[in-house]
Structure 1
Amino acid sequence: MKKPVGIIHVKVIRAHKLPKRDLLGTSDPYVQLRLSGEKLPAKRTTVKMNNLNPEWNESFNLTVKDLQSQVLELHVYDWDKFGPHDKLGMQVVPLTLISSHEPKEFILNLVRNQNLNDPHNKKPRGQLTVELSYHPLKEDSHRLSRPLERHESQGIESEVIERPNEEDLNSCQAGLLLVTVQGAEDVEGKRHTNPYALVMFRGEERKTKSVKRSRDPCWNEEFQFVLEEAPLKEEIRIQVMSKRTKFCFRSKESLGYVDINLSDVVFNGHINEKFNLINSRNGVIHVEIRWEMT
C-alpha cells in the first residue's frame, strides 16, 4: 500500500451548455469525481434538477498517493429516478498540472471518453469549470525517541514519541488522519465470534473484513480521513463486532469498544497502542493512528 503524499482540494464550480437528455429538453446533472487507481468510492456533487448550466460551488478533498502518475477523473451524469444514469461527458486532469497551495481554475471541454480517435468526441458536450490545488503532506518530523515500551499504569504497549513544540501544534490546520486497525486479542462473543472492527468518526463509519471463528483476529487495514482542521478536541470510536455467517435474529453483537482522544495524536503526530476494550472481559485492540499536516 502506497503512503499518501498529499491532498487535492477540488471545487466543482459550474457547468455550461450541457447536453439535453430528458424528455422535456433538459437534464438533471451531477458530477462524480475520483483519482485514478483509487479503490475508495467516488465522491459526487448534489443533483441540479432541470438545468443545463448548473452552479455547484461544492468542495472535496482527495488523498494523493502518486503525484506523477495519478489523474483526477471527472464524470458528469444526468440523474434519473428509474434506470441507469445517463453519462453527459467526462474529462481528466493530470495532477502534475495542479499548482501547490495556490488554487488554479480549469475550464474543461467535456468529451465522451478518453479515446482520441472516437468520432463521438467531436460532438460538443459542454464545459465543466473546477478549481484545483495540491497540498503536500509535511514530512514526518515526529521521530520516535526510543523503542516500544510498556506503560506500567495501564499494562498496554505504546510507542514513546518526541513531542513537537507549541508553535507547531498551534499551526495545525488541514491534514490527513490515518487509522490502522492492526488486530485484537481475547475477544469473545456470547453466541459467535466472527470479529470485524468498525471505525466511527464525524458521522462516517468504516469497516474491516470479518475473520471467522477467531478470538485473536488480525486485520491490518488502514482508513483515511481528510480533515480541514486538526481534530484537537475530538474522539474516534473503534468497536469490535461479530456477525453470524447466516441470517438470524440477533445476528450481530458487540465484543467491546474504545474511544480514543485525538488530541494526543495531533500533539505527538503518531500513536501505536493496545487499548483495553470497554464491555469486554479481557479484549484488547491494537490501533495505530497518524496525523499528517499539509
Structure 2
Amino acid sequence: MGFFSTVFGLFGFGIGIVFGLVCGYFIFIYWQSTEVKEPIIKPLGELDSESIQKLLPEIPLWVKNPDYDRVDWLNRFVGELWPYLNKAICKIIKETTKPMIDEYSAKYKIDSVEFECLTLGNLPPTLHGIKAYDTQESEIILEPVLKWAGNPNILVRVKAYGIQATVQLVDLQVSAIARVTLKPLVPIFPCFSKIVVSLMEKPHVDFGLKLVGGDLMAIPGLYGFVQDIIKDQVANLYLWPKYLEVPILDDSRMAIKKPVGMLKVTIVNCKNLRKADLMGKSDPYVKMSLGEGTLSKKTQKKMSTLNPEWNETHSLLVQDPSSQALELQVYDWEKVSSHDLLGVQMIQLSSLTPDDWQTHTLNLRKNMDDNDPSNQKPRGQITLNTLYTPFKDEEVIPEEEENEAPPEGTPVGGGCLIVFVHEAEDLEGKHHCNPYVKILYKGHEYKTKAIKKNRDPKWTDGRFEIMCPEAPENDRIKIEVWSKGSSMGLHRHEPLGYVDISLADVVSNKRLNQEYQLIDSRNGKVLVELQWLSG
C-alpha cells in the first residue's frame, strides 16, 4: 500500500502543477484590471524633487541641450502627411517581409503566415529635437531624437501543424536616437547619393502582444525577456559604428565618378590626309577624348602637311573601361573660320590589354556610321600607341600581400593627383572681394571661376585632375586665393592669401582633407581635399 500511495501522490502532484500553471495563465491574462484612472495633474512648481527627477527623461532634448534644435514645423508636416505615410509604410512592410516569411515558413514547416490587419494607427511619430554636425566632408550629418507612442493594429494569422492562431500587436512605444548621414553630396536631385543610418544607443521598445484575446506580456518574466532580445538584436544590426545603408542614386547617374585608371595615348603620325585647303595643304592636329562630358586633349598643329609627325604623349582619366571609348578626331586648323574635320576613329577601351603598350594603325572615316557610303572614301591613316593602367585599389589587396614590400630599386609609378578646392571663410579684400582660386604645380596653373561679393565662397568648379609621371612625394602644391575686380578698375586682381602644401602625406595616405589658415591673411581659411590615385 505504501508503494501505491507514493505513486498516487506523485501523480496528484504532477496534475496539480499542470492545473496550477493553466489557472495562473488565465488569471494573469483575463483578470487584469480594465479600470482607467484619471491622471493627477499638477503645476510643475508644486511637484517635489523626486517627481521632477522622474519627468526629466520625458523632457525634449532641445530643452535640456542647446545643441538640439526644435522642429515643431517638421512634426506638423509629418502629422499632416501621416495618413498617407501610414498606407505607404504598411505596403512596404508587406512587400519586404514576404520573402522572409516564405523562407522561415519553409524552414519551420509553417503552413501560412498572413496579415489579417496592418495599420500603424493615427498617431504619428514625433521628433523631440535634431542636432546637426559641422563637417569638412562632402556630407550632412543629422542626429534626430525619435519618440513614438502609437496605436497600431497588427493582426497576424499563423497556421502550422493543423493549428491556427492569431497574434495581435498593440500599444507600440519606440524611443531612439539615430544618426542620419546624407553622403556624398552631388549636383543631381536629391543632391545626395545614399542615406546611412546608425543608432547611437540601444532603443527603448514597448508593446502589447495578445493571443486569443489575452495579453501574453502579462506572463511574469516574459515582458523583460522579450524586450532584452529586441534591444540586443536591433543593437547588433545598427548600433554605431554599425549602420544601415540605403542607396538613393545609381552610380550610373553620379555626376562625377571616381577614376579607375589612366590611359596614355601617343599620337605617332598621320599619313595621306585629305587636302582641305584649295590653295595649299592641310594644317592638321588631333583631338582625343573618352566621350562627351570628359576632358579632351589636343596635339600641336602641324603646318602645311598631309603626313604630319607628332610623337606626342597625352594622358586621360578612365572612369569605366567597359563602356568608354577613345574618340579620335583629326582637324584642319583654320585661323579665321571653323576648323575642318578631316576624319574620325574610335577604340573601345574594353579591347585594350591593361599594363601593355599597344600599337594601332587605323583608317580614318567621315563618321562612325557603318551604313554611310561616304566612309568608303579614303581619308588617310592615323597611327598611335596606347597604354591603359588601372589604378591600384588598396581595399582589394589580399591580406597576405598587404605588407609585402616591392623589390629594392623598383621605380615609383605615376598616377593622378586630384585637387578639390571646396570653400573658403573670412576672406578680406582691401578694395573688393570677388574670390577665385589659382592652383600652381610644376609650372602649370589651374583656376576656378570668381564668385562675386562673397567673403565665404563655395566653389562648384574647384575639381582639378593633374597627371603625374611619378608619385609627387617630394613635391609641393601652392593654393592661392585672389579677388577679381572690374576690368576698368585700378585694382583688377588682389591677393587674399595662399597656402603651400606638401604632397608627401597625400601620397602615403592616399587622401587628405584639411582646412588651412591662409598666409598673408588675418582670418582667412581655405578647405582643400587632395587625393592620390597611383597607377
Normalising by the smaller structure, the TM-score range is: 0.7 to 0.9
Which residue matches 1:156? none
Q: Say if 2:512 is the partner of 1:257.
A: no
Distance 2:365 2:340 in 1: 14
CA positional deviation for 1:67: 1.2
Post-superposition offset of 1:15 = 1.1
Q: State the TM-score, normalized to the length of structure 2.
A: 0.48
CA distance in 2, matches of 1:74, 1:187: 44
Shift of 1:71: 1.2
Q: Which residue of 1 aligns with 2:272?
A: 17
Q: CA deviation at 1:281?
A: 0.6
When structure 1 is superposed on structure 2, of 84-93 and 45-54 the one drifting more is: 45-54
User: Which among 282, 285, 288 is matched to residue 27 of structure 1?
Assistant: 282
User: What letter is aligned with 1:242?
Assistant: S
More strand per residue: 1
Map Cα deviations across residues 199-227 of structure 1 (whole Å, 9 max, x no partner). Answer: 12122222223333222212253211011
Aligned residue for 2:375, secondary structure, equals helix
Structure 1 residue matching 2:289: 3-state secondary structure: strand
2:139 aligns to what? Answer: none
Secondary structure class of the residue paired with 1:121: helix
Q: 1:73 matched to which residue of 2?
A: 327
**Counterpart of 1:93?**
347
Any unmatched runs of 5+ in structure 1?
Answer: 143-163
Give the conservation status (yes or no) of the 8 Å contact 1:37–1:70.
Answer: no
Please give the alpha-carbon distance, in whole angstroms, between the structure 1 residues aligned to 2:479 and 2:407. Answer: 28
In 2, Cα distance between equivalents of 1:216 and 1:83: 43
* Match among 276, 280, 283 for residue 521 of structure 2: 280
The percentage of counterpart residues that share the same residue type is 44
- Letter of the structure 2 residue corresponding to residue 9 of structure 1: K
> Which residue number corresponds to residue 149 of structure 1?
none
Q: Which residue of 2 aligns with 1:292?
A: 533
- Structure 1 residues 139-158: Cα deviation after superposition (integer angstroms, max 9, x where no partner): 1459xxxxxxxxxxxxxxxx
Matched residue SS, 2:258: coil
Distance in 2 of aligned mates of 1:124 and 1:133: 28
CA contact 1:76–1:89 (8 Å) conserved in 2: yes
Q: 1:273 & 1:107 partners in 2: Cα distance?
A: 47
3-state SS of paired residue (1:184): strand
* Amino acid corresponding to residue 135 of structure 1 in structure 2: T
Is structure 2 residue 370 aligned with structure 1 residue 116? yes
Higher Rg of the two aligned structures: 2
Deviation track 1:14-56 (CA, whole Å, cap 9, x = no partner) reads 111111122345222111111103343x211122223222221
Residue 246 of structure 1 and its aligned partner are, at CA, apart by 6.2
Q: What does 1:217-236 correspond to in 2, within 5 Å?
A: 217-219=457-459, 221-236=462-477
CA distance in 1, matches of 2:405, 2:436: 38
Aligned mates of 1:268, 1:171 — CA distance in 2: 19
Is 2:243 aligned against 1:2? Answer: no
State how far apart, in whole Å, the 1-side matches of 2:300 and 2:439 are: 26
Please report how far the alpha carbon of residue 97 of structure 1 lies from its aligned counterpart in structure 2 after TM superposition: 1.3
Aligned residues: 272
1:266 aligns with 2:507: yes
Contact 1:140 1:292 in 2 (8 A): no
1:93-172 superposed matches below 5 A:
93-140=347-394, 171-172=411-412
> Equivalences for 1:183-194 in 2 at 5 Å?
183-194=423-434
The question of whether the paired residues in 1 share the 8 Å contact of 2:285 and 2:299 is answered with yes
Asked if 1:243 corresponds to 2:498, the answer is no
Alignment of 1:185-224 (within 5 A): 185-219=425-459, 221-224=462-465
Whose relative contact order is higher, 1 or 2, with alpha carbons under 8 Å and at least 6 apart?
Answer: 1
1:164-206 Cα deviation digits (max 9, x unpaired): 9975997532101011112111111111212121112122222
Cα deviations by residue, 1:88-146 (Å, 9 ceiling, x for unpaired): 1111111111110101111111111122233322211011111112101111459xxxx
Amino acid at match of 2:437: A
Among 158, 161, 174, which residue is 2:414 paired with?
A: 174
**Cα separation, partners in 2 of 1:35 and 1:137, compared to 1, 3 Å:** same
What is the rounded CA distance, in whole Å, between the counterparts of 2:278 and 2:383 in structure 1? Answer: 26
1:218 alignment partner, SS class: coil
Secondary structure at 1:225 match in 2: strand
Q: 1:209 to 1:26 in 2, by over 3 A?
A: closer
SS of 1:69's equivalent in the other structure is: coil
| Aligned match for 2:299, one of 28, 42, 45 | 45
CA 1:9 to 1:57, structure 2 compared with 1: closer, same or farther past 3 Å? same
Distance, in Å, in 2 between the alignment partners of 1:222 and 1:82 is 33
Aligned partner of residue 236 in structure 1, secondary structure:
strand
Which residue matches 2:166?
none
The answer for unaligned runs of 5 or more in structure 2 is: 1-255, 397-402
Q: Secondary structure at the match of 2:471?
A: coil
Alignment partners' CA distance in 1, 2:504 and 2:344: 41
SS of aligned partner of 2:459: strand
Say whether the 8 Å CA contact 1:172–1:293 is kept in structure 2.
Answer: no
**What's the CA shift for 1:233?**
2.1
Contact 2:431–2:491 under 8 Å retained in 1: no
Rounded to whole Å, the distance in 1 between the matches of 2:404 and 2:485 is 48
Q: 1:248: Cα distance to partner?
A: 2.2
C-alpha distance in 2 between matches for 1:226 and 1:101: 17
> In the superposition, relative to structure 1, how do residues 103 and 199 fare at CA in structure 2: closer, same or farther (>3 Å)?
same
